[in-house]
Amino acid sequence: MTTSTGRIYLLRHGETEWSRSGKHTGRTDVELTERGRDRAVATGALLPRLRGTTDPPALVIASPRIRARVTAELAGLHVDRIDDRLAEWDYGDYEGITTPEIRETVPGWTVWTHPTPGGETAEQVTARADAMLAEAEKHLEQGDVVLVGHGQFSRVLMARWIGLTAAGGQYIAMDPAAWTVLGFEREAHQLAATNVTPALAGG
Catalytic residues: 13, 88
Written as one string, the DSSP assignment of 104-172 is TTSTT--TTTS--TTS--HHHHHHHHHHHHHHHHHTTTTS-EEEEE-HHHHHHHHHHHTT--GGGGGGS
Q: What residues have CB less than 8 Å from 149, skipping those under 6 apart?
A: 10, 11, 12, 13, 62, 63, 68, 86, 87, 88, 157
